[in-house]
Amino acid sequence: MSGKVDVKIADHVARVQFFHPKKNSLPGELLRNIAAAIDEVAKNDDVHVVVLESDGEGPFCAGASFDELVAIQDFDTGKHFFMGFALVILAMKNCPKLTIVRVQGKAVGGGVGVIAAADYAMATTGASIKLSELAIGIGPFVVGPGVERKVGTSAFSEMSIDADWRDAAWAKQKGLYVDTYEDISQLDKAVDDFAKSLAQKSPEAMRELKKVLWQGTENWNELLEQRAEISGKLVLSDFTKNAIAAFKKK
């Protein structure tokens, strides 16, 4: 598998960084490795805060791996693939530490879902977002509950239906990003300073705050699995296979 996940812990802050050579896209194995890394730091008492980020200065995340999507031939494989996104979202939700997501560049599809699962997201002004799933015959089903929770039903509907780009200013206005910064160096300083400051706060208080922030999501294990089944069925359609093939040629 191409791609990797690295974890570094210092000053009570765990940095979970993922990388894939194709614009930080997410194959199924990489998704599961990200979820496993978050689950691991969640159990570490020395970790008070988690920062999730992708490597490089390009896109934050190009979403699902098209190579893997187009190769899916049966429902079980399709469901298994989309459950990878569910596992990452659930790992972030269930992690008792507050999670910051650092967004240095554009995010598409599942990448937007990862950002929405953050407790606090910080981005550059170039970090545009797009839910592109409908354009390839699927829909933002697995990431939908998280995105809707963050930006509201109206904004989620807009993004889902027209599948167009929204700039970072729009994402900040809708509540996906807490703040935006002119360049990556400014973003990095802000993330570092905030994470270190937050790590000095009471772990017990942050743990209780996390529970409060995620109240109402107790059914997400079942909900996200149901959503993965919808996507797992739709990805088998000729429409989706042709649409992905056309995208790959661009």
Spatial separation of the C-alpha atoms in residues 169 and 225, rounded to whole Å: 32
pTM beyond 0.95, yes or no? yes
β-bridge mates for residue 36, sequence order: none
Contacts of 195 (CB under 8 A, 6+ apart): 13, 49, 51, 100
Task: Over range 11-32, report the average pLDDT.
Answer: 97
Please say whether the dihedral angle defined by the alpha carbons of residues 127, 96, 28 and 235, taken in this order, is positive or negative: negative
Q: Which pLDDT belongs to residue 69? A: 92
Spatial separation of the C-alpha atoms in residues 189 and 180, rounded to whole Å: 12
Percent of the chain surpassing pLDDT 90: 94
> Does the pLDDT at position 192 exceed 70?
yes
- Ordered by start, the domain boundaries in the chain are 4-199
> Does the pLDDT at position 248 exceed 80?
no
> Does the pLDDT at position 1 exceed 70?
no
What's the CATH number for 4-199? Answer: 3.90.226.10
3-state helix vs strand vs coil in the chain, percent to 5: 50, 15, 30
Q: Which pLDDT belongs to residue 2? A: 79
pLDDT (tens digit, 9 = 90+) per residue, 224-234?
A: 999 999 999 99
Place of tokens 């894939």: 20
> Does the pLDDT at position 245 exceed 60?
yes
Residue 17, CB half-sphere, CA atoms under 13 Å: how many? 12
Task: Over range 142-157, report the average pLDDT.
Answer: 98
Tokens standing for 114? 């990862």
DSSP state of 217: -
Q: Which pLDDT belongs to residue 246? A: 86
Task: Over range 177-190, report the average pLDDT.
Answer: 99
